[in-house]
């Protein structure tokens, strides 16, 4: 295979006000024409720095290449001036960024930004550039491309913006497309569409793709070869089949074991890699993974292992050959001995699990709940239109259970959660908490009720005051609801820190000094401070790496058993929802379309939307590609929902009845409810 990109012993340094540090060291990789290489690893492992080095974007971020070469189709990119590089960017290599809104200029239309690239690289005049841009927008699946050309980035949804960015990257038919976490912020259905689109475009344009992700399911589906990075170095490189069949580095094995799959045993704890990735300015001696490695020896502490050929792949571990021969080495995702695991788990905690399942006492009861937001024509206008965020939703949450809530962005999950906690007032309907209607409480009564209802937010950093110390953040509920002395408050906060797995000594430190997973633990400590009965976890683990995600999920389950908590767990990571939840509700465009026990929903989905969601989950076994049922298009606007069944515009089985008659949520099996005229 002809090589398109060759990186040889690349090292990159960044200069900060505290001195300079090496971000990546001795990185070597090759990408052939038409090949897809995936870079995987936790946040902070150097994946994005590697990709930005190829485009030489690090030059704008106080970074410089301190060693090595980057050869793209015969050109050494490390020696070129920025002027020469600008001629190559877009033409020979292009990049799709993680956050599409940050990649577009909000004050220019989509069309003007795409045509600018074509004109800049002298690929046609203004009229030809316009035609090419319209063709590309259509090719990446954007409906009505002529209209979209004149719209601004803020008028497009996240999925559409990501498609527009892919169209912009393809304007000059680049040979290399670098995609940096292109689907992280997207729903599972849109993610599946984008990944399949990238596969199609790769074939059509004969491109090579360098894909950066921390989702090993995406890597299994997309990659020809996978490169695993840890703390600025490559620790393993193998074909996708080799890597998933038998990883050769303890870190790769740990990542694979941390994956939650459709077949994972729900009764056992998720595996997680202990500890966190070291900061690049404070790296350990020897093998950088040794502080977290269960197989580390004295040699690992002293000497750094080279990346060498082991069993027809590359691995940087002193003991790869011996480790892969061990009987217990294959215990990673998909190969765990679930029977003995379940038996052992049953012995340990059968009565706890039994108690949680058998509880019949209702904590929350929701009856005919709606939340509309007025839009448009002023207060005195008669023809007022509304965003129907939540409409006529009824369900209950039992004491001690975890109720999962899934659906695409814009389906009304977070709004429903906020209305339950009375952070938003309902337009219609009732919310009963332990039999009491929350909307009828006085502000003092509501404040007292809030002791028992707390929230864990999606963004742990955005939900805390960065100027407050950790002790003040966690201790704030005590200031509002209890009158404690400083000594008593400190003792209680330190106990909470210990309970969520943090050191008592961090009381006087600030949020910016911690990793995402540690910040989320701080958020959890604050949520459980007053020993509440109910916690709303709104996308609480979606921004975290796979191993950190596993740690937080395990912590939430431990706390549920210790403190008797009830959770409403909102997420779009369906495998995690399956693992955590006793029952799951599926929302679409403001309505609940299905409610079922967790296992039942995954084994026997009865609504076409649920089935489409489940088929969109990337398979973590490259040898077993599952059938993909595409949910076409995007979720309609809640300001103008379709008539009849709201899903009919995207449903492959829709009939005339579906277009006219709205289906009721009815029970089709014991505990299984669905809103479909033709349940599956």
Which pLDDT band, with edges at 50, 70 and 90, does 667 fall under? very high
Chain segment 66-90, per-residue pLDDT in tens: 999 999 999 999 999 999 998 888 8
**What integer is the mean pLDDT of 150-175?**
86
Per-residue 3-state assignment (H helix, E strand, C coil) for 610-667? HHHHHHCCCCCCCCCCCCCCCCCCCCCCCCCCCCCCCCCCCCCCCCHHHHHCCCCCEE
Q: What mean pLDDT is predicted for residues 244-257?
A: 93
Beta-ladder partners of 538: 570
Residue 162 has pLDDT above 70, yes or no: yes
The span from the CA of 644 to the CA of 675, in Å, is: 11
Output the pLDDT for position 529.
93
**Statement: residue 293 has pLDDT above 80:** yes
What does the pLDDT average to over 603-618? 90
- Which pLDDT score is estimated for 332? 52
pLDDT in tens, 336-347: 333 333 333 333
Residue 256: C-alpha distances to residues 46, 102, 216, 272, 560 (Å)? 19, 31, 8, 10, 26
For the whole model, what pTM was predicted? 0.84
Confidence band of 331 (pLDDT split at 50, 70, 90): low
Q: Which two tokens stand for residue 111?
A: 């069309």
- Round to whole Å and give the CA distance between 75 and 60: 21
CA 557 to chain CA centroid, nearest Å: 20
Q: What pLDDT digit, counting tens, does each position of 392-411 carry?
A: 999 999 999 999 999 888 88
Q: Residue 300, Cβ neighbours under 10 Å: how many?
A: 23
Note the pLDDT tens digit of each residue in 305-330: 999 999 999 999 999 999 999 988 87
pLDDT band at 349 (very low <50, low <70, confident <90, very high): very low
Residue 196 dihedral angles phi and psi, to the nearest 5°: -70, -35
* All residues at 6 or more sequence positions from 155 whose CB lies less than 8 Å from its CB, including other chains: none
Residues 418-428 pLDDT 10s: 999 999 999 99
Q: What is the pLDDT of residue 341?
A: 38
> Are 587 and 593 within 8 A, CB to CB?
yes
For strands 63-72 and 75-76, give the pairing: antiparallel
Please return the burial class of 105, using the count of CB atoms within 10 Å of its CB with bins 0-12, 13-18 and 19+. Answer: exposed
The two three-digit tokens of residue 466, written as one number? 């960065």
Query: Is pLDDT larger for residue 630 or for residue 143?
Result: 143
């Amino acid at each position: 295979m002809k090589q398109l990109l060759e990186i040889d012993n690349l090292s990159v340094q960044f200069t900060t006000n505290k001195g300079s540090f090496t971000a990546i060291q001795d990185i070597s990789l090759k990408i052939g024409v038409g090949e897809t290489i995936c870079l995987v690893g936790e946040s902070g492992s150097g994946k994005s720095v590697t990709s930005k080095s190829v485009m030489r974007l690090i030059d704008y971020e106080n970074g410089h290449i301190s060693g090595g070469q980057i050869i793209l189709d015969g050109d050494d990119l490390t020696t070129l001036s920025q002027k020469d590089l600008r001629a190559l960017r877009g033409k020979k290599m292009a990049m799709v960024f993680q956050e599409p809104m940050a990649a577009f200029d909000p004050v220019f239309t989509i069309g003007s930004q795409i045509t600018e690239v074509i004109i800049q690289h002298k690929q046609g005049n203004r009229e030809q550039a316009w035609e090419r841009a319209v063709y590309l927008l259509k090719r990446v699946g954007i409906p009505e491309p002529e209209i979209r050309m004149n719209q601004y980035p803020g008028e497009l949804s996240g999925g559409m913006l990501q498609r527009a960015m892919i169209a912009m990257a393809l304007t000059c038919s680049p040979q290399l497309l670098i995609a940096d976490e292109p689907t992280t912020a997207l729903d599972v259905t849109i993610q599946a569409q984008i990944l399949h689109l990238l596969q199609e475009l790769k074939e059509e344009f004969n491109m090579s793709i360098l894909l950066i992700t921390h989702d090993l399911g995406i890597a299994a589906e997309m990659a020809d070869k996978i490169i695993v990075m840890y703390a600025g170095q490559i620790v393993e490189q193998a074909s996708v089949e080799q890597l998933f069949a038998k990883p050769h580095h303890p870190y790769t094995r740990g990542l694979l074991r941390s994956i939650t799959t459709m077949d994972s045993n729900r009764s056992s704890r998720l595996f997680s890699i202990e500890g966190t990735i070291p900061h690049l300015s404070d790296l350990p001696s020897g093998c950088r993974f040794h502080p977290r490695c269960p197989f580390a020896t004295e040699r690992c502490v002293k000497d750094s292992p080279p990346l060498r050929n082991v069993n027809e792949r590359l691995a940087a571990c002193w003991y790869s050959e011996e480790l892969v021969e061990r009987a217990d080495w294959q215990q990673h995702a998909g190969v765990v001995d679930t029977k003995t695991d379940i038996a052992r788990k049953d012995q340990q905690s059968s009565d706890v699990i039994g108690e949680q399942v058998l509880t019949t006492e209702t904590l929350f009861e929701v009856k005919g709940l709606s939340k509309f937001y007025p839009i448009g024509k002023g207060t005195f206008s008669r023809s007022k239109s509304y965003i129907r965020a939540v409409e006529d939703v009824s369900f209950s949450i039992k004491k001690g259970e975890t109720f999962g809530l899934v659906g695409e962005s814009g389906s009304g999950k977070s709004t429903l959660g906020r209305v339950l906690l009375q952070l938003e007032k309902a337009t219609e309907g009732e919310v009963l908490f332990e039999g009491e209607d929350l909307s009828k409480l006085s502000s003092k009564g509501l404040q007292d009720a809030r002791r028992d209802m707390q929230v864990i937010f999606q963004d742990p950093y955005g939900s805390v005051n960065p100027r407050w110390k950790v002790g003040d953040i966690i201790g704030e509920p005590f200031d509002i609801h209890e009158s404690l002395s400083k000594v008593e408050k400190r003792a209680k906060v330190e106990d909470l820190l210990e309970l969520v797995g943090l050191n008592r000594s961090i009381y006087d430190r600030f949020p910016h000094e911690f990793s995402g997973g540690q910040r989320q633990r701080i958020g959890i400590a604050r949520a459980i401070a007053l020993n509440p009965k109910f916690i709303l976890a709104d996308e609480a683990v979606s921004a975290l790496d796979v191993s950190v995600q596993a740690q937080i999920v395990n912590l939430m389950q431990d706390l549920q058993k210790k403190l008797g908590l009830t959770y409403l767990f909102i997420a779009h990571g369906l495998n995690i929802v399956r693992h955590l939840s006793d029952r799951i509700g599926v929302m679409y465009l403001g309505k609940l379309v299905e409610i079922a026990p967790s296992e039942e929903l995954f084994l026997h989905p009865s609504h076409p939307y649920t089935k489409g969601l489940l088929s969109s989950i990337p398979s973590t076994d490259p040898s077993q590609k599952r059938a993909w049922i595409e949910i076409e298009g995007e979720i309609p606007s809640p300001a103008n929902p379709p008539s009849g069944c709201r899903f009919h515009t995207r449903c492959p089985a829709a009939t005339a009845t579906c277009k006219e008659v709205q289906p009721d949520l009815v029970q089709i099996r014991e505990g299984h409810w669905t809103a479909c005229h033709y349940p599956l």
